[in-house]
Structure 1
């Protein structure tokens, strides 16, 4: 076992693509913008690879729109309102996640969430899903002045848990999760079952470990 995992006392997770599959609701929010304009709907699978890129990714798929488009800010807010109305309509935990979190609680290992999702969405989503009732920290993309790949959100989560960063594992399905975790001095685990993004090469991210299902994380815990 890598030495980074020797003194672990807590686990922090990314949210979308790591703990929950929110792609159906994010895709639905973007696709409603298409159908509201009389455009044909897209298959949800078309949106899935870009879910990790948030509004930028969803509007890119739905309309080929980039952030430098003059209407991007208006369209982004419309997307956000659509998404707020269906935050947990079709969002569910990945297979194995409830069992994994139950194991953490049974082993008295604190856990939390560090996501780039703003608190506007991250807090009501986690409050609405019973999955998160045992979480010890929820840190959003705007909880601190910086979002990932900056390490500050991870430092904030560690502070809330009362632990040093090197006592924490960070698990995520995006390269920026690994970059942030390494910068924070945490053990990093790449979630190879997540959204990953188009043409992602997880092996190149530099994570201390990669898992292909949530329950595999148990192999790396004390």
Structure 2
């Protein structure tokens, strides 16, 4: 993968650029304690943070999305998360330096997340990192969400580059599936919310990184 062949780098959001697990987990845990249940430690929620409400409510209450009470609990979770989503969420170490280096190289960059714009928009407006992003595509920006490739194609269109000239970086298998379907080169970020059961070698990504700045070495490789 040569730098000259790459015109843009796209990233997943949660677990790839930002660590939002503390606020996602705390929102779900408050729902538990509000009901008189014991509090769970953050690490119990952490590996499911990439699954959003489905993951957090699954940990907190052992509930599946097809349960009759799930929609009401999901909206309660959304409100709880909105009330605190910037309290402890932070950019992963090395990400700011990575984005600075990408911009210095003249590459475009953007975000493709399954997170609803209801949350993506205020988060990315509040965190200075995203001021240089050429595209921010949420889970409801197009009629589809990952692993469908359309959100990635939409981001490429917004940046004015062909999808084939993009690299997509994410910490979940659906990110790699979407990137490959979009004709992009794919990088698995193993520092995110990957649980102990995940086997990244089965995802068929083009490469993997254990820290954000490792991506620069991949962009330099012939």
Give, in angstroms, the shift of residue 197 of structure 1: 3.4
Give, in angstroms, the shift of residue 105 of structure 1: 1.3
The equivalent residue for 2:13 is 15
Unaligned runs of 5+ in 1: none
Give, in angstroms, the shift of residue 6 of structure 1: 5.7
Deviations 1:15-56 (A, max 9, x none): 000000000000011001011111111000000111111111
Mapping for residues 130-209 of structure 1, pairs under 5 Å: 130-209=128-207
The equivalent residue for 1:60 is 58
Q: Take 2:5 and 2:107, find their aligned partners in 1: how far apart are those partners?
A: 12
Superposition TM-score, scaled by structure 2 size: 0.96
Is 1:90 aligned to residue 64 of structure 2?
A: no
Is 1:36 aligned to residue 22 of structure 2?
A: no
- RMSD after superposition: 1.1
Q: Take 1:77 and 1:163, find their aligned partners in 2: how far apart are those partners?
A: 37
Tell me if structure 2 keeps the 8 A contact 1:52–1:197: no
Q: Take 1:28 and 1:131, find their aligned partners in 2: how far apart are those partners?
A: 24
Unaligned runs of 5+ in 2: none
Tell me if structure 2 keeps the 8 A contact 1:174–1:197: no
